[in-house]
Amino acid sequence: MLRNVQRFVFLAASFAVCTHAQTTAGHPVQADRIVVVKSMHTMTLYARGKELKVYHVWLGRGPGKAKQQQGDNETPEGNYTIIGRNPHSTAYLSLRISYPNTADRERARKLGVDPGGDIMIHGLPPGNDWVKPGQQLADWTFGCIALTNT
């Protein structure tokens, strides 16, 4: 039903993403699925189908369509995995997603464009500690999914 109503990005975690939620034994719960609902500006972490935590996010500063090509400033829509970290990012804790996937590359080939890449889930760049969780700001990334560092 969600697919018919809102744009979203589904990200299957290929490595554990810990949250502040705790098990009864006091150990961090590890997320196994991330769902980003672009129209609601939310990123929700799940473990075994149970919602763990919802975050407010900022997206690509494009007009809100699915990413088509390099430089369109759009956030991708589709199924992706987290494939690593970007230790050289200027933003806090940058996680790389698997965009472009096979379908993205094929669509770009048919359009004769570069699909782009380097799409991340990341925190804020240095000097932006004044931004608070849930604060409403205009989308500002080049296609990434951003949230506050906390």
Please tell me the predicted confidence (pLDDT) of residue 58.
95
> How confident is the model over 120-130, as a mean pLDDT?
90
pTM given for the model: 0.81
Report the domain count for the chain.
1
- Cα separation of 19 and 30, whole Å? 7
Please give the C-alpha separations between residue 78 and each of 48, 88, 97, 100, in angstroms, as whole numbers: 20, 26, 11, 10
Percent of the chain surpassing pLDDT 90: 64
Please tell me the predicted confidence (pLDDT) of residue 11.
57
> How confident is the model over 45-66, as a mean pLDDT?
94
140 and 73 Cβ atoms separated by less than 8 Å: no
Please tell me the predicted confidence (pLDDT) of residue 29.
85
> How confident is the model over 51-62, as a mean pLDDT?
95
Residue 22 has pLDDT above 90, yes or no: no
**Any idea which of 14-18, 25-29, 30-34, 65-69 has the lowest mean pLDDT?**
14-18
| Whole-number average pLDDT of the chain | 85
- Cα separation of 81 and 14, whole Å? 6
Residue 31 has pLDDT above 50, yes or no: yes
Q: Which domain holds residue 41?
A: 2-146
Please tell me the predicted confidence (pLDDT) of residue 23.
56
Q: What is the CATH number of the domain that holds 133?
A: 2.40.440
Please tell me the predicted confidence (pLDDT) of residue 120.
96
pLDDT level of residue 52 (50, 70, 90 thresholds): very high
